[in-house]
Amino acid sequence: MRTIVGILLLCLTGCATHQTAGQHQPSTTTELTLERGVANLSARKTKAAIKDFDQVIALCESQYRSSEQRTYASRGLNETIYYMAKAAADEEPAIAVGPTCSDALYLRGYASLDFGQIELAQDYIQRAIDMAPVNSMYLSEMGHIYQSKRDWDNALVMFTQAEAAATYSPDDVKVLELTRAKRGVGYSLIELGNLDEAEAKFRECLEINADDQGAITELKYIEHIRTNGSDTGSQEDDFI
């Protein structure tokens, strides 16, 4: 499992506490089951985690399937305002709920990657994005899936969307999600041969966090390419 898992699980457990006025709360059962799944995933008990996530997904589907309103999953006030404004503009009835249900879909997809089930993972991540279109973490994970498929154009699209969506991220994870998205954009640009644009994106990361080791590593890699050609691999998988 990628080394980013610790950061992602930290984001999930932290963001799960963000609830705002107007959000409908998920049941205690779903929250506790999700927490158990997160613990199992962190302990590398992936099969047990998948069972937990499937249980949460089933509970969420039974809870919201019959609703005539669109259900958005929000981690905080900024996301909720965006979704409600979008619903109003679309003249679509909608509610904002906490992130438990979308996190279960996201983590189910994330766990599927552990078994090499890329297409299944993509399906679950897309379902999470459908519930939370400006969740930067979900969008970046979809970008990572496209990178694993060496589909650099779509990876660039998804990471660019994730970068823009980080505007709405909760304050305690905004920097993590913004810099992850920027590194994803930069790495995709490297693979597309746009080294100058990639370098600029990694330098943006360093302006936000001067100790961003992922950005530092990729800048060294760009320097290596310019000097020696691209005969060694990037460290993208460890840092993005």
**pLDDT per residue over 204-221, tens digit each?**
999 999 999 999 999 999
Top-tier CATH class for 1-133? mainly alpha
Which residue positions in the chain have pLDDT lower than 70?
1-27, 230-240
22-64 pLDDT, tens per residue?
Answer: 445 545 889 999 999 999 999 999 999 999 999 999 999 998 8
Query: What is the reported pTM?
Result: 0.88
Domains in the chain: boundaries: 1-133, 154-240
From CA 164, how far away is CA 237, in angstroms rounded? 22
pLDDT score at 17: 41
From CA 200, how far away is CA 216, in angstroms rounded? 12
From CA 49, how far away is CA 39, in angstroms rounded? 8
Residues contacting residue 225 through CB under 8 Å, at least 6 positions apart: 190, 195
Strands 70-73 and 23-24: unpaired
